[in-house]
Amino acid sequence: MAIEPPAIAEQTAEAAETKPLRADAQRNRDRLVEVAAVVFAERGIDASLEEIARRAGVGIGTLYRHFPTREHLVEVVYRREVEALCAAVGELAQKHPSDVALEQWMQRFVDYIATKRGLATSLRILLTTNSTLFSDTSGRVSQALRQLVEAAVADGTIRGDVDASDVLHALSGIYSAPDTPEWRDRSRRLVKLLMDGLRFGAGKAR
């Protein structure tokens, strides 16, 4: 799914914090996270941990050594995906005009939320323990969004009288009622609608 660079970044970032893992341990850990992301996507948040271990080719004991609870594993997968979402900003900004880049990114954000429903319940348990989780990630996300919005404002493809937090606020409707079948389409339309609004009068105000 992802190519190597992010894996390396991840490794160094985490290795720096604690003592470096033994080579085999690091290998297994990475493998587990990778597989877990797939399995959680396939089967939902309640997927069997034994299946994850099996498909990663490690014993269940190894999974538990690296991730003492289901929530620990979920958290790492979650962080990793937020990372990927934010990392997409650079690429999108290069390939598209700034307003299109913003739109594409927001659509990708919708996809992301779509699969990540059910996380909330599971992550809530962690919030007592690890209160930086949401502030970390929501910080990253809004920073990514800010980058895109500011770029689009700067070259006049969207109106100048809005900022990232306005846009984030407008997107907040996405979080509600996400299990219905129409949810995804509705959210896509919301993004388009928002973009129309943002493009209206672009280049005039400023």
Partner DNA sequence: CACTAAAACGGAGGCGCCTCCGTTTATTAC
Partner DNA sequence: GTAATAAACGGAGGCGCCTCCGTTTTAGTG
Interface ranges with DNA (CB under 7 A): 21-25, 27-29, 48-51, 57-62, 64-66, 68-70
Task: Please say whether the beta carbons of 158 and 152 come within 8 A.
Answer: yes
**Token pair in block for residue 11:** 């490794």
CA distance 93 to 89: 6
Nearest to 52 by CA among 69, 66, 72, 34: 34
Q: Which is nearer to DNA, 18 or 132 (CB)?
A: 18
Q: How far is the CB of 44 from DNA (least distance, A)?
A: 12
Q: Which is nearer to DNA, 48 or 131 (CB)?
A: 48
Q: Which is nearer to DNA, 22 or 204 (CB)?
A: 22
Task: Please say whether the beta carbons of 118 and 47 come within 8 A.
Answer: no
Q: How far is the CB of 54 from DNA (least distance, A)?
A: 8
Q: Which is nearer to DNA, 49 or 158 (CB)?
A: 49
Q: What are phi and psi of 160, to 5 degrees?
A: -95, -5
Q: How far is the CB of 114 from DNA (least distance, A)?
A: 23
Task: List Cα–Cα distances, 129 to 3, 5, 71, 73, 124, in angstroms.
Answer: 32, 30, 11, 14, 10
CA distance 78 to 59: 23
Q: How far is the CB of 59 from DNA (least distance, A)?
A: 2
Q: Which is nearer to DNA, 69 or 143 (CB)?
A: 69
Q: How far is the CB of 82 from DNA (least distance, A)?
A: 23
